[in-house]
Amino acid sequence: MTASDSASKVRQDSTGLLGLRDVAAALEVWRRDPNAATHGRLAEAFGLVVTGSGLGGAHLHLHAPPLAEAEIRSGSLLDERVETAGLRTYELRFGDRTLATLRLDAPPAALFSVDECARGLEIVIGAAWSEARAGQATDELAALDAATRGIAGVLDLDRVLQLITDRVRELAHAQYAALGIVDQEGGIERFITSGIGRTERERIGAPPHGHGLLGVIVAANHPLRVHDIDTDPRRYGFPANHPPMHSLLGIPIGAKGRSIGRLYLTNKLPSGDFTEDDERLVEMFALHAGIAIENARLHEQVQRLAIVEERERIGRDLHDGIIQSIYAVGLSLEDVPDLMEDEPEVARARVERAIDSLDQSIRDIRNFIFGLRPELLEQAGLVGGLAALADEFRVNSMVDVDVETYGVEDVDLSPDQTGQLLSIAREALSNIARHSKATRGTVSVEAHNGRIRLTVSDNGVGFDPDQQRGPSHQGLINMRARAVAVGGHLVLESTPGGGTRIIVEVARRETLGSGASQLGDE
C-alpha cells in the first residue's frame, strides 16, 4: 500500500466510509421528523462526505416524496451564484425515478473520487427513499382498506355518496374533495362535497355544471393532475365566496363499463402537488367506489319495487277483506227504512249487527295499520322512510320535493323517535300540499352537535305564525306534541310570501339525557 493509499484509507475511515453511514442515519431521522434540527444533522453529515472526498463544495436538492424535500449546500457552493470550472452535475436515481440533483465542485486533485462520491450518495438516498416508500405503501394499503371497508355494504345511496367523498379526502390527504355524478350527456347532475361546511356551501350557491377543468375531467374520462388551478388556462373561475383552491387531482369512476362520476381533490396537505402515488391510490379507491355506488343504486331500485309491490298487496288485502265487509254492511242496511215501519225489531237487530260489523272493520283497519308500521320502520329506518314519504308525496301532489341527508344513520335514533319524526314529516308534507301553494319542497335530516335535525321547507305563500288559527288547525299542535314525546322540540319559521320551515331536533340515541345543545347552536 502506497502512502497515498494509506492517506485515502485514513480519510475514509475518519468519515465513516466517506460519511455515507452518517448520511444514511441522518436521512432516516429526516424521514421520520423533518424539521430544522434534523435538516442541520443531514447538512452536517453531507458536509463530511464533501470534505472527506477532497471536494471544494457541493449542492444537493432532494425531491423524492415521500421523503420531505431538502436543499443542502456545502463548501464553495454555499453561495448559489458561484460557478467553478470543476463543476459537475448528477441526477441521482432509483430505477427510472429521479430522486435528487447533485452538483459537485471538484478540484483537479480530487477528480479520482468525484464519481465515487456521487454514486455513494445515490445508493444511500435510493435506499432511504425505498424504505420510506415501502412504509408509505404499507400505510396507504391500510388506509385504502379502511376507506373501502367504510363504504362496503352501505346501501343508502345518499349516504354512500357522502361517505365516498369523505373517505377519499382522508385517503389522499386533501383539504377538499367532491364527487360529481354525471348524467347520460356527461353533465354533472349531483355534486357532493367534503371539507366545506354547510353554511359555507350555501354561500357559494348552485353546484357546478361541469365547465372549465371539471368539464375537462368529465370529457377526457382519465386522471388529471394540475399544479395550480389559478394559473391553468382551462380554468373557468370560481363563484363568489368560494374558498381558494390550487393543486387538483381528478379521477373518473366507472362501473360495468360505463361512466358514473368523477372524484375531485384539491389542495394537497400539508402543501404541494398531488403525486403519481396519490393518483394510483385514488384510482384503486375509485374502483371500489364505483361498485358501492352501483350496489346502492340497485338496492334503491329494489326498495322502490318493494314499495310498489307492497302498495299493490295492501290494496288487494283491503279490497278482498275490509272493503268487502263494509260493502256487505251497506247492503244489509238498504231495506232498514222499510223494516222500521213494518218490522221494527228486525230493523233494530239489523242495525245492531251492522254496528258490530263496522266496529270489527275498524279494529281490522287499526290492526292492519299498526301491523305495518314496525315492518316499515325495520326495513327503511328514518332515511328510507323519508324517501318513501317523498315518493308518495310526489305521486299524490303537484309539488316536487327533494330529500337530503347529512351523516345520519339509522342507529342514531330509537324506533319511537323514528316513528314520531316520520309522522311529523308526513303532517308537514300534507300541509304543504293543502295550504302552501308551493312548487317545491325539501326534506332534510342531518346530524348536528349530538342531535338529529329534521327540516321540512317549501317555497309557498307562507303565513303569519302569530295569527290566531281556528280549532280545526290541529296539525302544528300535533307535531309539537310528537316532538316533545321523544324529548325534542319544534320550531316554526314562516312569513307571508316567504315560504315555511318546520324544524325539529331530537337527541341522538347515545346522547339522550346528556344535555345536548339546543336548536340554533353552531
Q: Is the predicted pLDDT of residue 40 greater than 80, yes or no? A: yes
pLDDT score recorded for residue 112: 54
Q: Where is pLDDT greater, at 477 or 219?
A: 477
Taking CA atoms, 460 is separated from 84, 226, 319, 478, 499, in Å, by 79, 44, 37, 22, 4
Cell (9 digits) for 226 = 394540475
pLDDT at 366: 61
Using CA atoms, how far apart are residues 487 and 502, in angstroms rounded to an integer?
A: 17
Burial letters for 293-320: b for 16+ Cβ neighbours within 10 Å, e otherwise? Answer: bbbbeebbeebeeebeeeeeeeeeeeee
State which H helix or E strand residue 445 sits in: strand 440-448
- CA dihedral (353, 355, 356, 360) positive or negative: positive
For residue 54, pLDDT beyond 50: yes
What is the structure's pLDDT at 363? 67
- Is 196 within 8 Å of 203 (Cβ atoms)? no
508: nearest Cα among 423, 385, 421, 390: 421
Q: Which pLDDT value is given to residue 449?
A: 79
Per DSSP, 498 falls in state S
Query: Beta 440-448 vs 400-406: how paired, if at all?
Result: parallel
> Which CATH code is given to the segment(s) 3-142?
3.30.450
Q: Is the pLDDT of residue 228 over 50?
A: yes
Q: How confident is the model at residue 91, as a pLDDT?
A: 95
The C-alpha R_g of the chain, in whole angstroms, comes to: 36
Establish whether domains 3-142 and 153-297 are of one fold.
yes
Q: What is the pLDDT of residues 346-386, one digit of tens each?
A: 888 888 888 888 877 776 676 565 555 444 444 567 888 88
**pLDDT at residue number 349:** 87
pLDDT reported for residue 518: 34
pLDDT of 326 reads 79
pLDDT band at residue 16 using 50, 70 and 90 as cut-offs: very low
Which amino acid is located at 121 in the chain?
L
381 or 262, which is more confident: 262
**What was the pLDDT predicted at 15?**
42
Topology of domain 380-511 in CATH is: Heat Shock Protein 90 (3.30.565)
Neighbouring-strand partners of residue 371? none
Mean pLDDT, rounded, of the chain: 81
Which runs of consecutive H residues, i.e. helices, occur in 152-244? 157-172, 198-204, 212-220
| pLDDT bucket at 12, cuts 50 / 70 / 90 | very low
d(CA 324, CA 322): 5
Kindly report, residue by residue over 505-518, the tens digit of the pLDDT.
Answer: 999 876 444 433 33
CA angle in degrees (0–180, nearest 5) for 55-56-57: 95
**Pick from 253, 270, 67: nearest CA to 168:** 253
Q: What is the pLDDT of residues 450-507, one digit of tens each?
A: 889 999 999 999 988 887 665 545 778 888 988 999 999 999 999 999 999 999 999 9
Name the range with the highest mean pLDDT among 323-332, 340-349, 389-398: 340-349
Identify the burial level of 12 via C-beta atoms within 10 angstroms of its C-beta, where 0-12 means exposed, 13-18 middle and 19 or more buried.
middle
pLDDT recorded at residue 110: 58
Could you read off the pLDDT of 309-328 as tens digits, one per residue? 777 777 666 666 677 777 77
133 residue type, one letter: R
* Res. 98: pLDDT tops 80: yes
For the stretch 408-447, pLDDT in tens is 877 778 888 888 898 899 889 888 988 888 999 999 999 8
| Helix (H) and strand (E) counts in the chain | 13, 14
Determine the residue type at 269: L
- Report the interhelical angle of 475-485 vs 415-431 (nearest 10°): 160
Q: What's the pLDDT at 319?
A: 64
Task: Check if the beta carbon of residue 180 is closer than 8 Å to that of residue 214.
Answer: yes
Cβ–Cβ under 8 Å, residues 84 and 76? yes
- Single out the residue of 287, 279, 301, 297 nearest to residue 257, CA to CA: 287
Ranges of H-type helices in 221-321? 276-317
With cut-offs at 50, 70 and 90, classify the pLDDT of residue 89.
Answer: very high
CA atoms within 13 A on the CB side of 221: 10
In terms of Cβ atoms closer than 10 Å to its own Cβ (0-12, 13-18, 19+), residue 256 is exposed
Sheet architecture: strand order including 400-406: 400-406, 440-448, 451-458, 500-507, 489-494
- Distance, CA of 404 to CA of 390 (rounded, Å): 11
Contact 463, 492 (CB under 8 A): no
CATH for 153-297, options being 3.65.10.10, 1.20.1070.10, 3.30.450.40, 3.90.180.10 = 3.30.450.40
**Predicted TM-score of the model (pTM):** 0.53
- pLDDT tens across 143-202, in order? 888 888 888 878 888 889 999 999 999 999 999 999 988 877 767 888 899 998 878 877
257 against 443, higher pLDDT: 443
pLDDT at 473: 59
Distances, alpha carbon 151 to alpha carbons 184, 378, 409, in Å: 25, 21, 13
pLDDT at 87: 86
Average pLDDT over residues 290-305: 86
- The pLDDT, as a whole number, for residue 318 is 66
Q: Domain boundaries in the chain? A: 3-142, 153-297, 380-511
Which cell numbers in the block locate residue 327? 260493502
